[in-house]
């Protein structure tokens, strides 16, 4: 008997694949949506009814009816940023407090974590990661080194605990020669208001809650943040984030057993982007790269930084599909390539010793992509409503990707709006 009721949706590239949009589209199929890792480094964009929203810490199921959304223990939460995000949603008429539940085991990002993020980046000099500056790395470091402050801590003797953590951080900053504490007091004031605001939410033991939900026969969609190439174990280390973005992260970040996982939806763009530093084999430095950036509006949802753009990389995607156990692919932003005469896909890498590989190697900063060139479909597909309207060249492109990746593409996104989504018929 298959008792799995948990599906996981996650990014297969370097983040920003369009996870937020698809979670919103799929939410009506589920009872609960849960985030399992990451924090306000994420920027998940949703568009519907002429409105655009960017979510950072709040799961993307929040706009569909009265569904309960859960922020799991694997997430790191900045109370000040959370408050700003939640209040914005409340202003636009979305009531959150009754249906947004937050794990008491989620770790808190303190203002001093953000300073430590800056100090650590500065110390790395030219090798810096290009983090979002949200204090993600230092907060997860404190968690793993057993020094963290958790959401549950705000319920008891919080000021005392906060002061001890701040003191420790200030010592660390001083030892790194970081003296710029400008704005810290002001930031702490807003942060403490955020802590008060947080107390108004359901602070829960989300592992108990989720397993209760599952026992009652309900279903859960887990929303990943970042992407597999930013995973701390399997990504392009050290140019990664500090959490497990892969499917296994849903188990540790929510307290769900692996035997509960059903479908694993892997999201990919029809091309590839990366923001921040680190290797990116198919990156384009030419006019085509600029064209993809402009047509795809490839600028960071959190930092506004230009995203680096390149062709889709099937070596990299095969690896991501493998480590996540992806059962179905979702392809985003194919409309960005609607006008291209030809489209390239990297099918293998040439290694420095001249050999070719289709397997993702330990290092990717010295590989040369080997491309297959396919004809473009040269059709504006943004108003299509069914796959029956797909031009033959596009169908051929999809068939090619499915064969190369040995995985079915179940959903194709042809524009940023909720409605610009084609769910393909099961075969
Ligand atoms: P996420 O972090 O994975 O949720 O993705 P982001 O929101 O950071 O980046 C995806 C961007 O692409 C957002 O601006 C979306 O509105 C937009 N988007 C999503 N799907 C599509 C699509 O199919 N076509 C186009 N043109 N834009 C899309
Ligand atoms: P979503 O969920 C794209 C990148 C940063 C940097 C590296 C480490 O919107 O897909 P961090 O602040 O996490 O320590 O930065 O990871 N990064 C992302 N890139 N999308 C994201 O999230 C990202 N979150 C972090 O640019 O290279
Ligand atoms: Mg994003």
Query: Which protein residue's CA is at the shortest distance from atom 21 of ligand 2?
Result: 226
Residues 50-68 have a mean pLDDT of 95
Q: What band does 180 get if pLDDT is binned at 50, 70 and 90?
A: very high
- Convert the pLDDT of each residue in 205-216 to its tens digit: 999 999 999 999
Q: Is 44 tagged catalytic? A: yes
Instruction: Give me the CATH code for the 6-103+202-265 domain, please.
Output: 3.40.440.10
pLDDT at 1: 45
Q: Is the pLDDT of residue 88 over 90?
A: yes
Instruction: List residues bridging with 11 in a β-sheet.
Output: 267
Burial profile 201-228: b = 16 or more Cβ within 10 angstroms, e = fewer: bebbbbbebbbebbeeeeebbbbbbbbb
Q: For residue 278, give the ligand nearest its CA.
A: 2
- Convert the pLDDT of each residue in 119-140 to its tens digit: 999 999 999 999 999 999 999 9
Q: What band does 177 get if pLDDT is binned at 50, 70 and 90?
A: very high
Q: Which of 16, 80, 231, 338 is catalytic?
A: 16
pLDDT at 302: 73
Residue 104 near residue 64, CB atoms below 8 Å:
no
Percentage of the residues of the chain whose pLDDT score is greater than 90: 95
pLDDT at 214: 96
Distance CA 4, CA 325 (A): 15
Distance CA 79, CA 200 (A): 12
- Convert the pLDDT of each residue in 139-175 to its tens digit: 999 999 999 999 999 999 999 999 999 999 999 999 9
CA distances from 112 to 116, 153, 173, 206, 320 (A): 6, 17, 9, 27, 34
- Convert the pLDDT of each residue in 98-112 to its tens digit: 999 999 999 999 999
Domain 107-199 in CATH 1.10.300.10? The answer is yes
Measure 149 CA to ligand 3 centroid, in angstroms.
26
CB-based contacts of 300-303 (< 8 A; 24+ apart in sequence):
300/16, 300/43, 300/132, 300/275, 301/16, 301/43, 301/44, 301/45, 301/54, 302/40, 302/41, 302/42, 302/43, 302/54, 302/56, 302/132, 302/134, 303/132, 303/133, 303/275
Nearest to 411 by CA among 344, 351, 299, 328: 328
Instruction: List residues bridging with 69 in a β-sheet.
Output: 33, 100
Domain spans in the chain, listed from the N-terminal domain onward = 6-103+202-265, 107-199, 269-423
Residues 287-292 have a mean pLDDT of 97
Distance CA 133, CA 380 (A): 38
pTM attached to this predicted model? 0.97
pLDDT mean across residues, the chain: 96
Q: For residue 23, give the ligand nearest its CA.
A: 1
Q: Is 16 tagged catalytic? A: yes
Tell me the best of 276, 298, 306, 320 to mutate to test the pocket of ligand 2, counting ligand atoms within 8 Å of each CB and taking the most. Answer: 276
Upstream peptide bond of 238 is cis (omega within 30 degrees of 0): yes
CA distances from 181 to 116, 186, 306 (A): 11, 11, 28
pLDDT at 186: 97
Tell me the best of 47, 412, 416, 417 to mutate to test the pocket of ligand 1, counting ligand atoms within 8 Å of each CB and taking the most. Answer: 416
Q: Is the pLDDT of residue 3 over 90?
A: no
CA distances from 366 to 252, 304, 319, 352, 358 (A): 33, 29, 17, 6, 15
pLDDT at 385: 96
pLDDT at 2: 47
Residue 62 near residue 69, CB atoms below 8 Å:
yes
- Convert the pLDDT of each residue in 417-427 to its tens digit: 999 999 998 64
**Tokens found for residue 143:** 């968690």
Q: Which of 101, 105, 107, 143 is catalytic?
A: 143
CATH domain 269-423 topology = Adenylosuccinate Synthetase; Chain A, domain 3 (3.90.170)
Q: If you count DSSP H runs as helices and E runs as strands, how many of each does the chain have, helices first?
A: 11, 20
By mean pLDDT, which of 1-15, 18-32, 42-56, 114-128 is the weakest?
1-15
Nearest to 166 by CA among 106, 105, 115: 115
By mean pLDDT, which of 237-251, 342-356, 358-372, 413-427 is the weakest?
413-427
């Amino acid at each position: 008997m298959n008792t799995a009721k948990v599906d996981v949706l996650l990014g297969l590239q370097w983040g920003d694949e369009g996870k937020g949009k698809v979670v919103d589209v799929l939410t009506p199929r589920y009872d609960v949506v849960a985030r399992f890792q990451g924090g306000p480094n994420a920027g998940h964009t949703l568009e519907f009814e002429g409105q655009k929203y960017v979510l950072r810490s709040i799961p993307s199921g929040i706009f569909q009816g009265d569904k309960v959304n859960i922020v799991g223990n694997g997430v790191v939460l900045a109370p000040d940023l959370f408050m700003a995000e939640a209040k914005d949603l409340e202003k636009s008429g979305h009531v959150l407090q009754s249906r947004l539940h937050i794990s008491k085991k989620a770790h808190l990002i303190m203002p001093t974590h953000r300073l430590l993020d800056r100090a650590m980046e500065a110390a790395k000099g030219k090798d810096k990661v290009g983090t979002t500056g949200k204090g993600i790395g230092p907060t997860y470091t404190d968690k793993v080194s057993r020094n963290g402050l958790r959401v549950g801590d705000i319920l008891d003797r919080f000021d005392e605990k906060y002061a001890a953590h701040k003191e420790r951080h200030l010592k660390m900053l001083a030892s790194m020669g970081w003296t710029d504490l400008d704005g810290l007091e002001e930031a702490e004031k807003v942060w403490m208001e955020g802590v008060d605001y947080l107390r108004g939410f359901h602070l829960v033991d989300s592992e108990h809650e989720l397993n209760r939900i599952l026992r009652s026969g309900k279903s859960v969609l887990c929303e990943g943040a970042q992407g597999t190439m930013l995973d701390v174990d399997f990504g392009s280390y050290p140019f990664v984030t500090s959490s497990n973005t892969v499917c296994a992260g849903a188990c540790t970040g929510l307290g769900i057993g692996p035997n509960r996982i059903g479908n694993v939806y892997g999201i990919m763009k029809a091309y590839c982007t990366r923001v921040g530093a680190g290797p990116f084999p198919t990156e384009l430095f030419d006019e085509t790269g600029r064209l993809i950036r402009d047509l795809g509006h490839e600028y960071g949802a959190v930092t506004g930084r230009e995203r680096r753009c390149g062709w889709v990389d099937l070596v990299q995607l095969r690896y991501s599909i493998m480590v996540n156990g992806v059962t179905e692919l979702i392809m985003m932003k194919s409309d960005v390539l609607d006008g291209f005469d030809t489209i390239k896909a990297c099918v293998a890498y040439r290694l420095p010793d001249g050999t070719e590989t289709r397997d993702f190697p330990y290092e990717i900063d010295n590989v040369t992509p080997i491309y297959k060139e396919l004809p473009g479909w040269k059709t504006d597909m943004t108003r299509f409503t069914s796959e029956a309207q797909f031009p033959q060249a596009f169908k051929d492109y999809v068939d090619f990707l499915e064969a190369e990746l040995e995985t079915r593409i179940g959903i194709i996104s042809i524009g940023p709006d909720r409605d610009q989504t084609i769910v393909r018929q099961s075969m």
